[in-house]
Structure 1
Amino acid sequence: MEAHYYLEYSRMEREHWWFEGRRQILGSVIDRLTGSHRRPRILDLGCGTGESSRHLAQFGRVTSIDLSELALGFCRHKALPRLVRGDAVHLPFAEGAFDLVCGLDILEHLADEERALAEMMRVCRPGGQVLVTVPALPILWSRHDIVNHHQRRYRKGQLRNAVARSGLRPGILTYFNTFLLPPTLLVRLGGRLVSRPAPPSETHSDLACSTGGIFSGLLRRVFAMERGLVGRVPLPLGVSLLCVATKPGETCPVEPAVAAPRRSWADNILDRFVRPPRPLTDTR
């Protein structure tokens, strides 16, 4: 992430409808995962400016880790108690140190996603769980992905295979942000048609273009409506993907709410008709 973008990102994490809606959805899932476990040890991998860690703190004892010293500076300003600087592919924790490991929109930034997943499994206790979210559908690739230094957007099968290769057992695996997929697709495809090179000072995420006002509140409510569905009903497509996987070992405190997923009709349609676009060339 560009240094000048951190300040904007910190504000968006607090106020933007997308982050607020995602917190409600993740809160519903995490509450079911940790409900019978008293003060679980939670790792927030790639904690960024710290809003995700503040949210996770209501569910357990959170340790926050990020590679960026600038990001950790924001976390210190928010008085987060357990901050560690470290790399996702070389986590400085003992094996089995956490009950729940969260990687929220982290894997897409990493060249070696499988090494990161293997590390997440290593520091998770046997029978513990790993929760990851990632941006979905390569057809949605846009300047937003470039600004955020994404390496890829995921299909369901791609994420399932990466998680399984790490040794984790996928449980819940579902798209989300489904209701807002049609307008997002229109915005991203439209932006691709009119895109132009931009200097770093002018480059920003498309999230920055949709904050505040009545419209923002409406989008937040539409997005948050999915909180009762995610993890209970497999959503066929969406702007994002969520996976809860288990480290083999002891019985989980809460069994996954959805059985190991099978391919949906939407996956088959995408395989047959949709080819991902070539990544946009960043000419800055």
Structure 2
Amino acid sequence: MDAAAIDEAYRLEDDHWWFVGKRLIVGALLEDALGDPSLRLLDVGCGTGGVLAALKDRTRIVGVDRSPRALGYCRRRGVAELACSEAHRLPFGPASFDGILLLDVLEHVVDDALVLRNVRTLLSPGGFVLVSVPAFQFLWGKHDETVGHVRRYRARMLRELLERAGFVVRRLTHTNVIAFPPAVVARAVLGRLGLRRRQGTDFQVHRPAVNRALIAAYRLEAAALRHVGRLPVGVSIAALATTAT
């Protein structure tokens, strides 16, 4: 992400429905694990620190990002343990963490398999990785290009990638359900008509009432994720996987 996109993410991250929804989904998927305050977590590609800030009082968490600018914003949020590094050469020793977050990271790197293999070495026996990636290549749009995506994923593709890296997939589900219908219209339908937006990201600022309604929809999705194993469709895919023991 360029400097303008990083600044925009920091400006929007506390209140914008997309970022609030992301934190709600992460909280739902990690609900059981976050009950242990001694848990050692690593957030790879932590960006401007919204997830770090949400979790730092519940567990021991370290943030890593390639952007010094983004890490500066993390420090503003009171996050102390940070490192500047690429995802494929993380500066930690074997078995340093009990859990690793790869939230919207793999789609930015050419060799996603290498990142997963390296991440696996940093996990303690039985440790877990939580991965989220954008779903469905047919939803590719200008947003993907603007934020530096290399690809989008299908669920089976992500499962096979994790298994080849030596993980056991415990849970695989689509997320960001509420965004799926408008994404299909905006990218798949309008794109075919030559009306697809030519620039910018998808982080549009809506009226406060609309923003609140979308956050309420994400609260419902997070509640659903606590009770059902898999949501059938959404603009993202999340996988929870563990090292084989």
If the length of structure 2 is used for normalisation, what is the TM-score?
A: 0.93
Kept in 1: contact 2:186–2:196 (CA 8 A): no
Equivalents in 2 of 1:228, 1:91: separation in Å?
A: 34
Task: Give the aligned partner of residue 245 of structure 1.
Answer: 241
Task: Give the aligned partner of residue 17 of structure 1.
Answer: 17
Which residues of 2 match residues 87-102 of structure 1 at below 5 A? Answer: 87-102=86-101
Gaps of 5+ in 1: 198-202, 250-284
1:143 positional shift: 0.5
Kept in 1: contact 2:171–2:229 (CA 8 A): no
1:12 positional shift: 1.8
1:135 positional shift: 0.7
When residues 182 and 60 of structure 1 are mapped into structure 2, their CA distance, relative to the original with a 3 A threshold, is same
Q: Which residue of the other structure, out of 178, 197, 213, is the alignment partner of 2:208?
A: 213
Instruction: In structure 2, give the amino acid aligned to 1:17.
Output: W
Task: Give the aligned partner of residue 81 of structure 2.
Answer: 82
Q: How many residue pairs were aligned?
A: 242
Question: Which 4+ stretches in 1 moved above 4 angstroms?
Answer: none
Kept in 1: contact 2:187–2:196 (CA 8 A): no
**1:21-54 per-position Cα deviation (integer Å, ceiling 9, x unaligned):** 221121122122232x332000010011111111
Gaps of 5+ in 2: none
Equivalents in 2 of 1:11, 1:45: separation in Å?
A: 21
Q: Does 1:120 align with 2:119?
A: yes
When residues 185 and 64 of structure 1 are mapped into structure 2, their CA distance, relative to the original with a 3 A threshold, is same
Task: Give the aligned partner of residue 225 of structure 1.
Answer: 220
Kept in 2: contact 1:127–1:248 (CA 8 A): yes
Which residues of 2 match residues 56-71 of structure 1 at below 5 A? Answer: 56-71=55-70
Equivalents in 1 of 2:231, 2:82: separation in Å?
A: 35
**1:199-258 per-position Cα deviation (integer Å, ceiling 9, x unaligned):** xxxx42121x24342111111111221112226331111111000000122xxxxxxxxx
Which residues of 2 match residues 169-184 of structure 1 at below 5 A? Answer: 169-184=168-183
State the identity %.
35
Equivalents in 2 of 1:43, 1:243: separation in Å?
A: 16
When residues 189 and 115 of structure 1 are mapped into structure 2, their CA distance, relative to the original with a 3 A threshold, is same
Instruction: In structure 1, give the amino acid aligned to 2:206.
Output: T
Equivalents in 1 of 2:232, 2:197: separation in Å?
A: 33
If the length of structure 1 is used for normalisation, what is the TM-score?
A: 0.81
Equivalents in 2 of 1:175, 1:239: separation in Å?
A: 7
Moved more, 225-234 or 104-113: 225-234
Kept in 1: contact 2:56–2:79 (CA 8 A): no
Equivalents in 1 of 2:10, 2:154: separation in Å?
A: 28
Equivalents in 1 of 2:85, 2:181: separation in Å?
A: 38
Kept in 1: contact 2:169–2:242 (CA 8 A): yes
Moved more, 45-54 or 73-82: 73-82
Equivalents in 2 of 1:4, 1:42: separation in Å?
A: 28
Equivalents in 2 of 1:243, 1:196: separation in Å?
A: 30
Instruction: In structure 2, give the amino acid aligned to 1:56.
Output: L
Instruction: In structure 1, give the amino acid aligned to 2:3.
Output: A
Which residues of 2 match residues 249-268 of structure 1 at below 5 A? Answer: 249=245
When residues 183 and 196 of structure 1 are mapped into structure 2, their CA distance, relative to the original with a 3 A threshold, is closer
RMSD: 1.6
